[in-house]
Amino acid sequence: MEPHSFIGIKKEWDIVGARQLGREIARKLGFGTVDQARIATAISEIARNIYLYAEDGKVTFETIEGMNHKGLRIIASDNGPGIDNISQVMEDGYTTSGGLGAGLPGVKRLMDEFDIQSEVGKGTIVTAVKWLR
């Protein structure tokens, strides 16, 4: 398995492709069923955001293999409109989909590390890491 793989997100079906690739990589790294399911859900959320708000972007997977540390890094990047007020978006309950716990705050909960960089008019990069325990 190459350390970098990515899936372009243009159609809704690409979200499924991203989930599948992410889950495969996670399984090969040794993540259990629960973590695989969490990682897949996190991928769904960020890939769906690209599909809904940015039209064109990609989700990249990197495996991290340190001395006593193994993990999966997911990077969702797009050249979309960007997010103006990130703090607001990270507040529980801000999501427009109305579901409890969904959206980007959910991604943060599902993963171990989480970061967003965004510039209005330029695009958004969401990075999330899950460590193997």
Partner 1 sequence: MDAIDIQEDSYKDLLKLYIDTEDEKALYGAEKISKSFIKQGITPEEIVNLHIQSLQEMYDDMPQAYLRGLDFLLETMISYGLALQEYQTLREKQLEIKSELKIAAGMQKTLLATTVPVVENLQIGVVSVAAHQMNGDYHHFITGKNGDIGIALADVRGKGIPAALCMSMIKYAMDSLPEDTMGPNKILKNLNRVVEKNVDPSMFITMFYAQYFPQTSKFLFSSAGHEPGFYYHGDTKNFEELKTKGLVLGVTSETDYPEYERTIKEGDMIVLLTDGVTECRYGDNFLSREEVLEVIQQHMHLPAQEMAEKVYKHFERLQNFHLRDDFTLIILKK
Ligand X SMILES: Nc1ncnc2c1ncn2[C@@H]1O[C@H](COP(=O)(O)OP(=O)(O)O)[C@@H](O)[C@H]1O
Treating both helix axes as pointing N-terminal to C-terminal, what angle do 33-49 and 12-29 enclose, rounded to 10 degrees? 150
- The pairing of strands 70-78 and 113-119 is unpaired
- Binding-site partner at residue 96 among Mg ion, partner 1, ligand X, none, CB < 5 to 8 Å by type: ligand X
Check binding of 89 to ligand X (CB under 6 A): yes
Output 52 or 120, the one with its CB closest to partner 1. 52
Report which of 42, 11, 40, 12 is spatially closest to residue 26, judged by C-alpha positions: 40
Q: Provide the residue type at 110 as one letter.
A: L
CB-side exposure of 114: number of CA atoms within 13 Å? 16
Check binding of 3 to partner 1 (CB under 8 A): no
* Among 14, 35, 62, 78, contact with ligand X (rule: CB under 6 A): 78
Output 17 or 82, the one with its CB closest to ligand X. 82
Q: Which helix (H) or strand (E) holds 25?
A: helix 12-29
Output 57 or 105, the one with its CB closest to partner 1. 105
Binding site for partner 1 (CB under 8 A): 32-34, 37-38, 40-41, 92-93, 99-102, 105-106, 109-110
